[in-house]
Structures are given as structure tokens and as C-alpha cells.
Structure 1
Amino acid sequence: MILRELNGKMPVQGKDCFFAENSVVVGEVTMGDQCSVWYNAVIRGDVHYIKMGNKVNVQDGAVIHATYKKSPTTIGNNVSIGHNALVHGCTIHDNVLVGMGAIIMDDCVVESNSIIAAGAVVTKGTLVPSGSVFAGMPAKKIKDINKELMSGEIDRIATNYVKYAGWYK
């Protein structure tokens, strides 16, 4: 893992976190407990801060970044950032699944208990209301979250990634 100080700011992690050997975390990045950063994932807090809560997994090839002096990135608790997703200068609340290859652009707000479908492109400034599933390009609401999606996808994936990280420690 590359854990690098930049401009006097060193990444800070909580307890029981896992970092794959070729993950990169740079600069003003703060993450909570039980987070995991997987292979080829990059979290680059060089131009603005990135704050992540507890039990956040950043899967293989994902990129988290921000916009210089304008749009930081804030991620809540129990959030899964899928393989090759791009999360940029936005706010993601608690209990969110960002699907594989999804893109969330500057100044978006993804409220709690939501899913951004694989391959979705959430354009600049979009508000994803709590309990929504957004899909497409540009992403639009396609349905409301039900109990099966909450427990079967959002909770299951976040919990499983804590377990998977344990296999590597």
C-alpha cells in the first residue's frame, strides 16, 4: 500500500482497516473503523479533503477524489464503492451502495439508504433522495428501495467486505 503524506497532511485511519498492497491513499484523507481499500483503488486527498465513516469499502480499481478548493468528498457509514467506480467531489450519506463502474460527479448528494446502479452516471449537482435506486446515463430514479435491497444488497455487501478484509489480515 502507498500511504503518503502530501503538503503536511497524512491520511488517518480508524481501527481494524485493511489496505491492499497496491492501494493508494494520499493526503487529507480520514477514514473510520473497519474500512477496506482494495487492489488498485486510489483515494487522493491532494486538492481537497476526503472524509469516510465506518465500514466503508473501496473496491478494486475505484477512485475517490475531489475538486481543488471547491468540492470535497464526504462518505458516510456502511457504504460500498463498487469495482472501478468514480466518486468525485460529492457527499454520500450512510447505507449506500455505489455499483460497479458508476460515476458520481461534483456537488452530488446521495442520501441514505440508496443504490447507484452499476454503470450509472450521476451528473454534477444531482440530489439522490433517500431510499432511491438511480440508474442510467444520466442517472435517474428508477424505483424505491425495498427491504430486500436494503438487507440483501446494501447491508450484505458492506458486512461481507469486513469479513473479506479479515481473510487478508
Structure 2
Amino acid sequence: MYRPGVNIIPIHGKTPRIHETAFVAPGSTIIGDVEIGAGSSIWYNCVVRADVFKIRIGERTNVQDGSVLHCDPPRPGDEDGSPLIIGDDVLIGHMAMVHGCTIKDRGFVGLGAIAMNKAVIGHDAMLAAGAMLTEGKVMEDRMLWAGRPAKPMKELTDAAIAGMKMGVAHYAENAKAHAIAVFESGLE
């Protein structure tokens, strides 16, 4: 599928695989061993760089404007490496840096937050805006972590989790509108 204004770059024999229903905004760069699932969205000026290992993005996940996603390869003493694995229905806020970690289904990464190698963001968990989840830290399901370095703050309420689900639905619909707007703009 042609994606105007998007840089899709194969490297080391790996070409990004982007589901036909995913929206990738102009100005974004998708490199190497990347898979992006159905209904997901990569917003303006994001970089998803899987030049040294793999990045997997599930379904209906959104990666908001200016975010950077990367990974680390296997190496001696770390044969598993640090792939970036992002589940379904995940929200990643503007200008986030997500590197070689795991974000489980319905996880949330706030604006400008950082998640480092081998860290795990649990199901329905939230890494607060500006927080830094350091290497190897594991956030439990339904927990809010904040600070630099991030620490557990509280369990999320059902209302907070419902709000995150509404955010996923909003971005899925908004991506459809942006895809039409990009097409109609004639951006080549």
C-alpha cells in the first residue's frame, strides 16, 4: 500500500510490514524488522527503527506525534536482546521514547515518558507523563508509576482504565479521519 510522505526503509533484508488498515502519518520513518497491526496508528514525525532487532506493534495501538521507538540486538551475555514488543490497544503519548521494552495490552505511556530495555508495563498500567521507567523494572497490571526514576504510586481505578479505553477508541477514529485528510490533500 502506498503511504504518501512516509519513509519506509528496508535494511539488512528486513522490510517493515504494515497492516493495510494501519495509519502512518506523513513525516514518519519506519525502518527494518517492524510489524504494525490492524487499526494501529503511527502519528506525525515518529521514528520506528528496527535496524538491529525487531519491533512488534499490536492492533489498535497508537504511537503519538514525535515518539521514538527502538530496540537492542542479542549480544554476548544477553542472548535474548531487547526487542520492543507492544500489545493491543496501547496508548503511547507524544514525544515518548520507548526502547527495547514490553508494553502489554492496554498499557499507557504518558507524554514525554521513557521506557528502557527489558522494562515491562503491565496490562491496563500507566507510566505517567515525563516518567522514566529504568532498565528491567516491571510495572504490575493496573498500576500508575511516576517520577524519574519511576516508582509505583497507586492502583488505577476502573474509571481511569475506562478513560484509557476511550482514548484508544478516539485515536482509532481520528486516524481514519487523518488518513482521508492526507489522501485528499494530494500529498505525494
Partner SS state of residue 142, structure 1: strand
> Does residue 92 of the first structure (1) align with residue 103 of the second (2)?
yes
Picking from 19, 24, 38, the partner of 1:14 is 19
**Displacement after TM superposition at 1:5 (Å):** 0.8
Q: Aligned residue for 1:116? A: 127
RMSD: 0.8
In 2: Cα distance, 1:122 partner to 1:83 partner = 16
Question: How many correspondences in the alignment?
Answer: 168
- TM-score, normalization: structure 2? 0.87
Give matches, 1:98-109, under 5 Å: 98-109=109-120
SS at match of 1:39: coil
Compute the displacement of 1:15 (Å): 3.5
Equivalent residue number for residue 37 of structure 1:
42
Task: Render the CA deviation track for 1:1-26: whole Å, top value 9, x for unaligned.
Answer: 11111111011122411111101111
Q: Given residue 173 of structure 2, which amino acid in structure 1 is its aligned partner?
A: K
Which digits, 9 at most, give the CA deviation of each residue in 1:77-129, with x for residues without a partner? Answer: 00011000000000110011100000000010111010110000000000000
Following superposition, the deviation at residue 168 of structure 1 comes to: 1.5
1:75 aligns with 2:86: yes
Q: What is the percentage of aligned positions where both structures have the same residue?
A: 38
What residue number does 1:139 align with? 150
- Offset at residue 52 of structure 1 (A): 1.0
Q: 2:70 aligns with which of 65, 78, 82?
A: 65
CA distance, structure 1, for counterparts of residue 141 and residue 117 of structure 2? 18
Give the residue type in structure 1 aligned to 2:21.
D
Task: Show structure 2 runs of 5+ residues with no match.
Answer: 1-5, 75-80, 180-188
- Structure 1 runs (4+) deviating above 6 angstroms are none
C-alpha distance in 2, partners of 1:161/1:54? 12
Structure 1 stretches lacking a partner, 5+ long: none
> Secondary structure in 2 aligned to 1:10?
coil
Q: Secondary structure at the match of 2:17?
A: coil
Partners of 1:19 and 1:30 in 2: how far apart? Answer: 12
Task: Give the letter aligned to residue 83 of structure 1.
Answer: H
For the pair shown, which has the larger CA radius of gyration, 1 or 2?
2
Which of 164, 174, 177 is the aligned partner of 1:167? Answer: 177
Q: 154, 157, 165: which is aligned to 2:167?
A: 157
